[in-house]
């Protein structure tokens, strides 16, 4: 949580790149991108994929709330 309070936008940029690359890839080679998601993500347990998405969403959500001026009580 403390890492999100600073002005470091590296985490947000990297996570945006990680989420955007497959979308851009599918614009050029949709069958290969589809095969990647089906094979690579299909091999992972559902709890892992769900947990990863939840953590990523929380990091982005908290970072945006902090940027909007919402502060958390500790």
Q: What is the pLDDT of residue 35?
A: 92
pTM: 0.51
pLDDT, tens only, 43-60:
999 999 899 889 888 877
Residue appearing with tokens 């769900």: 50
pLDDT, position 72 = 65
Residues in the chain where the model's pLDDT stays below 70 = 1-8, 72-74
- Dihedral sign of CA atoms 42, 44, 48, 53 in order: negative
- What is the end-to-end Cα distance of the chain in Å, rounded? 11
| Predicted local confidence at residue 51, as pLDDT | 92
Per-domain residue ranges of the chain = 11-67
């Amino acid at each position: 949580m403390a890492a999100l309070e600073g002005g470091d936008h590296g985490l947000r940029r990297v996570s945006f790149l990680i989420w955007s690359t497959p979308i851009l890839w599918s614009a050029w080679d949709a069958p290969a991108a589809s095969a990647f998601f089906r094979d690579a993500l299909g091999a992972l347990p559902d709890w892992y994929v769900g947990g990863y998405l939840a953590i990523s969403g929380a990091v982005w959500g908290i970072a945006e709330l902090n940027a909007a001026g919402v502060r958390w009580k500790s």
